[in-house]
Amino acid sequence: MRRFGKDSSEVVEFMAFFARLKLYSDDAPEDLAEMAARDSSVMSICAQLFLSADYLRMNERRSRVLFAAPVDPAFLAAWRDYEERYETIVSSIWLSELLPELASTEPSRAPKADLRWMNADDEAGDQAGVIEEAIEFAQFNADQEDRWIDQPDFMERVQDGIAAWERLSQDTGFDLQGVFRRRALIPFVLVPRHIAAKHGSAETLSMLKNLQQAHDAFIFGATFAAVALMRSIMEAVLRDHYRAEGKDLSERIRNARGRLPPGASEGALHRLRKLANAILHLDHEKDEGLLKMDQAPQEKEIVSLLFALRALIERAE
């Protein structure tokens, strides 16, 4: 996906702004707020970096799939460093410059996973709402029969379209707000060149195909299918890129213990393994609670495992 290639103008711009800010701050993001308050040039770089990163983030969601491959390792490292250490501080500086009255607002104390879910649900509700309003508008206009007396075919097609939407949402249980929310929750994956070279997305059976299918399953509410595919991806990555030997997945995870990256702890990988085993073997005794959770906590749990899987893929050797 060229938009994350090293020659992309957006990536070049982000890398340049980020390098300048790290140089100015001696790679100490905790000092940036004080520096920006004293020095307008630092404030300006923070604003430029935030806008550049925000554009890249919006671009992540504009493709069919929620991963990019192959990705330049230098950009991948810089982007995750920005997310982990700089993004919150830089966005706060940008917001304080844009809307000074919000600078002293008390930050939310809600857990990050809860905030992520609530924000995604609010945005999804807005998106689903405007679509439903458009359908209601079409229904209202179709009911004005005197307006369409000379266009009976058009009015009939509108009514057929509304009826088709009702069948989709009622007969299949299609949850429009849930689809928007779950898509927003999926962490975007930047697949390094050496991983993409071994697991090309053009292959009928490949890690990247499974990753896309896992994302799709989660988006459309097929949670169990998503977990099963995530397990297969985890096993392939451990086997092929962490050189993890073992007679089963549990042993592979234990044997990769010393090479696992931050964000993909042994505990998280075992959690994914156990959940998948409970699903694949229809073994309720081995379920550790996911299958009994309500929708919101279940989605948060799956997202946390998707983040662990992302770390495993992105930091593989």
DSSP SS3 for 190? strand
Question: What is the distance in angstroms between the CA of the first residue and the CA of the last residue of the chain?
Answer: 21
**Among the residues of 147-286, which ranges form H helices?**
152-171, 176-185, 193-198, 207-219, 223-241, 249-255, 266-280
* pLDDT at residue number 200: 62
* pLDDT at residue number 46: 95
How far from chain centre, in Å, is Cα 49?
21
Identify the bridge partners of residue 67 per DSSP, sorted by sequence position: 189
* Cα–Cα distance measured from residue 141 to residue 138, given in angstroms and rounded to the nearest whole number: 5
| Model confidence pLDDT, tens digit, residues 263-295 | 999 999 999 999 999 888 877 666 667 777 889
* Cα–Cα distance measured from residue 193 to residue 69, given in angstroms and rounded to the nearest whole number: 7
What is residue 108's DSSP assignment? P
* pLDDT at residue number 149: 74
Name residues of the chain where pLDDT drops below 50. 1-2
* pLDDT at residue number 146: 75
* Cα–Cα distance measured from residue 259 to residue 163, given in angstroms and rounded to the nearest whole number: 55
DSSP SS3 for 62? coil
The helix (H) or strand (E) run that includes residue 69 is strand 67-71
The Cβ-side half-sphere exposure at 52, using a 13 Å CA radius, reads: 23
* Cα–Cα distance measured from residue 216 to residue 205, given in angstroms and rounded to the nearest whole number: 16
Please, what's the largest Cα pairwise distance for the chain? Answer: 74
CB atoms inside a 10 Å sphere around CB 192: 20
CB atoms inside a 10 Å sphere around CB 110: 11
* pLDDT at residue number 206: 83
